[in-house]
Structure 1
Amino acid sequence: MSSSDIFIGETIGTAVLILLGAGVCAAVTLKRSKAQNAGWLAVTFGWGFAVLTGAYISSGVSGAHLNPAVTLGLAVQGGTAWGDVPLYLASQLLGAMIGAVLVWAVYYGQFHAHLTDPGIIRAQPAEEGMVDQATAPKAGPVLGVFSTGPEIRNAVQNVVTEVVATVVLILAILTQGLNDAGNGLGPLGALITSLVVVGIGLSLGGPTGYAINPVRDLGPRIVHALLPLPNKGGSDWGYAWVPVVGPLIGGALAGGLYNLAFA
């Protein structure tokens, strides 16, 4: 597998993953969307199909990691060379940012309608610098389209949730989903992984929104901070480390556990 294969496959595959995954979040969240208020089932199945589509597009090129936790788990397990890890991670982050920008482009009118709605404006701090920072919202009204956030803000619990959910995901990939070369997802593995993502969302997604993928959260969060969205509020950088660190710990743990229990 060449460097160009990794770059092209991971960039395009991750962009499609985020386009469809964040896209379902936009569809459910934004005003003037036909799917507004469709609920958690729509979100979880939307993300499952997003994984399925991105993985099928890129599995034959780069192995469809699409997730630094997958890459790290495979490196610990031995299926991916450590020298390829930086390229995988950089490509995934770039793809995630591209996907987030595409969601903004597709839902441009809905973002404007949502963020200029009087009810949304009233819910935001009236004027920066005149707000009690202890009670001011840490996340803007459309941040959930781009990235995750906890229902209860407890750093230890939030990290543990992301670690546990990611271990489940990576163990499922390592035991059931690898291609013949052992360095990424095969066709059946892509289907299994997408179903596991739906299951994780339904069972373990309630506390934090189940990032289980550092670039799925970080890339779109960066885009949220940069986009010229009116009244968009904060990007909640104080929480941003949790959906990065938790999945990376989970990926490494899953790779080590696989070597101890299954190899």
Structure 2
Amino acid sequence: MNVYIAEFIGTALLLAMGSGVVANVVLNKTKGQNSGWIVITTAWALGVFIGVVVAGPHSGAHLNPAVSLALAVVGDFGWELVPGYIISQVLGAMLGAGVAYLIYKDHFDITDDPGLKFAPFGTAPAIRNLSSNFISEVVGTFVLIIVILYSTGPVIDDGNATPIGLGSIGALPVAFLVWVIGLSLGGTTGYAINPARDLGPRFMHQLLPIKGKGSSDWSYSWVPIVGPLVGAALAGGLFLLLGNTPAT
């Protein structure tokens, strides 16, 4: 499978699960309405598991521009591949969020609160303080990336190493990593820790004819984009500063 197609499909699967669980928890008259934060964080983690299982053998299953950036910073991934990976991730995230919307459309239609209609698409802070919101995204992504960097290694299959990425760690450890970040650090901003996860669905919220929707909150959108990229760069820089060398 082409690496860009793999990133597209893997990220689409991740967002179908992630946007889907938020819709299930917050929208009216779903089977999972009001089931809470544990349900959301668990399904996001298992959504990562699904995406990594599918894309890992082909692309390394970055599924996240912050992962691609960090691996390029430390020399485990070619800079020339980064733009294509990011575009594939954003487009995949758009598709996944769109699928979740189609599944839950009847529930979107009977939900009055525009904020709840937005929640399955983009992140929003619990308390809007852009400086602390930004720090939350930086720290959450730093934890994600530093663990990934200390866990990656080439996976050998018939003598050929698969691309470095989340697939090099294994899907289940990555799922646990994302789960603990959500449970521990996600309560402030909704832990985007992934620019594609927020940007692609936010575009879909803007574009889709969602009945009674409100603002897509583009004034906040830079936080879940820039914050994770800064966190990834800091993690990569520290990894190199401590004398580590690329896995490849």
Band the TM-score falls in, shorter-chain normalisation = over 0.9
Distance 1:33 1:187, change over 3 A: farther
- What is the CA–CA distance in structure 1 between the aligned matches of 2:146 and 2:2, rounded to whole Å? 25
Alpha-carbon separation, structure 2, partners of 1:186 and 1:238: 34
Counterpart in the other structure of 1:17: 14
Verify: 1:224 aligned to 2:195, yes or no: no
The 1-side partners of 2:197 and 2:144 are apart by 14
Q: Which amino acid in the other structure matches residue 155 of structure 1?
A: L
Answering whether residue 153 of structure 2 is matched by residue 153 of structure 1, we say no
The CA deviation string for residues 111-150 of structure 1, in whole angstroms up to 9 with x for no partner, is 11214xxxx4xxxxxxxxxxxxxxxxxx733111111011
In the TM superposition, residue 152 of structure 1 has moved relative to its aligned partner by 1.3
TM norm structure 1: 0.87
8 Å contact kept, 2:14–2:96: yes
Q: Which residue of 2 aligns with 1:63?
A: 60
Match for residue 133 of structure 1? none
Query: How does 1:1-263 map onto structure 2 within 5 Å?
Result: 5-115=2-112, 120=113, 140-180=115-155, 181=161, 183-186=164-167, 188-261=169-242, 262-263=244-245
**Matched positions, count:** 238
Identical residues among aligned pairs (%): 50
Unpaired segments ≥5 residues, structure 1: 121-138
Tell me how far apart the structure 2 counterparts of residues 240 and 197 of structure 1 sit (CA, whole Å).
Answer: 21
One-letter amino acid of the structure 2 residue matched with residue 20 of structure 1 = M
C-alpha distance 224-178 of structure 1, shift in aligned 2 (>3 A):
farther
TM-score of the superposed pair, with normalisation by structure 2: 0.92
Structure-2 separation of matches of 1:15 and 1:154: 30
Given that residues 204 and 210 in structure 1 are in contact (C-alpha distance below 8 angstroms), is that contact kept between their aligned partners in structure 2? yes
- Measured after TM superposition, the shift of residue 29 of structure 1 is 0.7
What is the root-mean-square deviation in Å for CA atoms of aligned residues? 1.4
Is 2:152–2:164's contact at 8 Å kept on the other side of the alignment? no
Unpaired segments of 5 or more residues in structure 2? 156-160
Q: Is the 8 A contact 2:45 2:179 kept in 1?
A: yes
Contact 1:170–1:251 (CA<8 Å) still a contact in 2?
Answer: yes
Deviation at 1:76, TM superposition (A): 0.3
- Larger radius of gyration, structure 1 or 2? 1
Cα distance between partner residues in 2 of 1:186 and 1:178: 10
SS in 1 for 2:126: coil
